[in-house]
């Protein structure tokens, strides 16, 4: 007789904890996408390194033991016979005393001038971008939200700014603005060219962003949450600054990341042409100007390569980061 073994079913209740789905914010999703792109991560790392290089310029030059304004014109540094003013071979290229060598003519330390030049170039680019972003966001949002005559007036101003030949205007207005600023509190020391470039570049850089923001706001103002805010009695100004403008932050962020390298290049170009930052204040554009004035780049190409390479790497890194931010904030991309 065969015994049949039966297993009694377990009476213990199997409890499972439901998995709570958590959503990600727009910036959280964008950061996740950036982390998945090697190009974006590399460009982000380069941008952070450049910013730290500029911020730590006083510390780095103190470690090196050099100043961007100290001249080394003696026969121990410069060649006074074959090519007067040309650095001696041991000072033309990187060395222990001068990490990137010295410049021809005045023999100032190239590393120190590059570091402090990064401060000036980034300061001008960031402040002018901030001016353009604030003006463009407010003007574009006001045009799109209020509509009517406000939209008509602001739109015609935007068209006028976009029709101007910016380079010619900047070249002609910058010296005039610098002469005017000398009689103001901004005219102290070497701050005149910096302030003038921030004002000029910022004032002529807002129109395109304003047009883009206006187009976004035209669709946002018809959304239900805007109607709900109106029904609760919120004023138009409150709705504009608390509901409308925050919802165009993605577009503004993308434009800002793309405008920073544009302003870096613009500052370098204006300083190279002699209407921007002037000697002895260091900037990358001024260093390029010094390399070509007197044809020093023919006998000492390193003097031109150092600021040129820094400018190319910085602009390229910011452009690649701007492309990555634009792709990361693209609503049509998959939310993975």
* Residue 11 pLDDT exceeds 80: no
287 is written with which tokens? 């260093």
Could you give the residue ranges of the DSSP H alpha helices within 106-147?
110-146
**Cα(131)–Cα(98) distance, integer angstroms:** 37
Question: Are 142 and 68 members of one domain?
Answer: no
In a domain, 234, yes or no: yes
Q: Give the containing element (helix H, strand E) for 318.
A: helix 302-328
φ/ψ of 205, rounded to 5, equals -115, 10
Question: Are 151 and 189 members of one domain?
Answer: yes
In a domain, 242, yes or no: yes
Question: Are 220 and 267 members of one domain?
Answer: yes
For residue range 199-245, what is the model confidence (pLDDT) as tens digits?
A: 999 999 999 999 999 999 998 988 888 888 888 888 888 898 888 99
Block residue for tokens 């990187």? 94
Question: Are 308 and 229 members of one domain?
Answer: yes
Q: How confident is the model at residue 336 (pLDDT cuts 50, 70, 90)?
A: very low
For residue range 23-65, what is the model confidence (pLDDT) as tens digits?
A: 566 667 777 878 888 888 999 999 999 999 999 999 999 999 9
Question: Are 279 and 318 members of one domain?
Answer: yes
Looking at residue 23, its pLDDT comes to 54
Question: Are 77 and 125 members of one domain?
Answer: no
Residue 233 Rama label (left phi>0; alpha psi -120 to 50; beta): left
Q: Give the containing element (helix H, strand E) for 58.
A: helix 57-64
Looking at residue 233, its pLDDT comes to 85
Residue 52 Rama label (left phi>0; alpha psi -120 to 50; beta): alpha
Q: Which of 92, 107, 124 is the last residue of a domain?
A: 92
CB 181 within 8 A of CB 220: no
In a domain, 265, yes or no: yes
For residue range 147-206, what is the model confidence (pLDDT) as tens digits?
A: 999 999 999 999 999 988 887 888 888 888 888 877 776 555 567 888 889 999 999 999
Question: Are 187 and 73 members of one domain?
Answer: no
Question: Are 322 and 191 members of one domain?
Answer: yes
Q: Give the containing element (helix H, strand E) for 79.
A: strand 78-79
326 is written with which tokens? 């634009």
Question: Are 84 and 199 members of one domain?
Answer: no
Q: Which of 76, 92, 108 is the last residue of a domain?
A: 92
Question: Are 245 and 173 members of one domain?
Answer: yes
Q: Tell me, what CATH number does 309's domain have?
A: 1.10.3720.10
In a domain, 247, yes or no: yes
In a domain, 106, yes or no: no
CB 155 within 8 A of CB 214: yes
In a domain, 319, yes or no: yes
Q: Which residues contact 170 (CB under 8 A, 6 or more apart)?
A: 200, 201, 204, 266, 270, 275
Domain enclosing residue 49, as ranges:
27-92
Number of domains the chain contains: 2
CB 18 within 8 A of CB 298: no
Looking at residue 329, its pLDDT comes to 80
**Cα(253)–Cα(261) distance, integer angstroms:** 14
Q: Which of 59, 92, 125 is the last residue of a domain?
A: 92
Question: Are 34 and 180 members of one domain?
Answer: no
In a domain, 139, yes or no: yes
In a domain, 285, yes or no: yes
Question: Are 140 and 287 members of one domain?
Answer: yes
């Amino acid at each position: 007789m065969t015994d049949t073994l039966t297993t009694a079913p377990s009476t213990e209740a199997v409890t499972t904890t439901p998995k709570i789905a958590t959503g990600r914010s727009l910036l959280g999703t964008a950061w996740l996408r950036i982390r998945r792109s090697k190009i974006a991560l590399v460009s982000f790392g380069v941008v952070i390194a450049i910013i730290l290089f500029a911020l730590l310029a006083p510390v780095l030059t103190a470690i090196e033991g050099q100043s961007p304004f100290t001249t080394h014109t003696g026969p121990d540094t410069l060649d006074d016979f074959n090519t007067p003013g040309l650095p001696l071979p041991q000072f033309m290229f990187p060395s222990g005393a001068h990490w990137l060598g010295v410049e021809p003519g005045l023999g100032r330390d190239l590393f120190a001038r590059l570091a402090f030049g990064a401060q000036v170039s980034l300061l001008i680019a960031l402040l002018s971008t901030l001016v353009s972003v604030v003006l463009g966001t407010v003007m574009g949002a006001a045009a799109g939200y209020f509509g009517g005559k406000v939209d008509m007036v602001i739109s015609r101003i935007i068209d006028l700014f976009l029709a101007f030949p910016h380079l010619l205007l900047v070249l002609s207005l910058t010296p005039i603005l610098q002469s005017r600023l000398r009689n103001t509190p901004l005219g102290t020391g070497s701050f005149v060219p910096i302030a003038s470039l921030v004002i000029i570049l910022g004032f002529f850089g807002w129109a395109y962003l304003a047009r883009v923001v206006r187009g976004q706001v035209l669709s946002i103002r018809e959304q239900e949450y805007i109607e709900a805010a109106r029904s609760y009695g919120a004023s138009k100004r409150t709705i504009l600054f608390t509901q409308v403008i925050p919802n165009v932050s993605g577009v503004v962020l993308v434009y800002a990341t793309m405008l920073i390298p544009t302003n870096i290049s613009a500052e370098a170009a204006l300083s190279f042409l002699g209407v921007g930052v002037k000697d002895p204040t260091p900037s990358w554009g001024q260093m390029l100007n010094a390399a070509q004035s007197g044809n020093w780049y023919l006998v000492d190409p390193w003097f031109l390569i150092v600021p040129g390479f820094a400018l190319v790497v910085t602009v390229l890194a910011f452009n690649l980061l701007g492309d990555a931010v634009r792709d990361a904030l693209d609503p049509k991309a998959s939310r993975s």
